[in-house]
Amino acid sequence: ALSLVLGYDVFCVGASRTDAGVHSRAQAVHFDVPAELAALRPADWQQRWERDINKRLPMDIRVQNVCDAPPDFNAVVSAVGKMYSY
């Protein structure tokens, strides 16, 4: 979905994976955006990206928030905890 919206091959890194039968909420994901694309984003880019990405995802998978992160942010190593619900 990201690649379709952004127009380039996007490599996403998720904070974690879930086991069969386990559901995830508030899963953090990070991906890099080329500087040229970041410079061209309109003022409402976050709402647009959320809307356009969600249009292409199954209804049980939703993007709730898109934001810039510090350059050293990593969804795997920056996670401070996990909760599991079976």
Q: Is 9 designated active site?
A: no
Question: Which amino acid would we find at residue 61?
Answer: I
CA dist., res. 39 & res. 41, Å (int): 6
Catalytic residue among 9, 19, 60, 72: 19
DSSP category for residue 57: S
CA dist., res. 74 & res. 24, Å (int): 18
| Catalytic (active-site) positions | 19
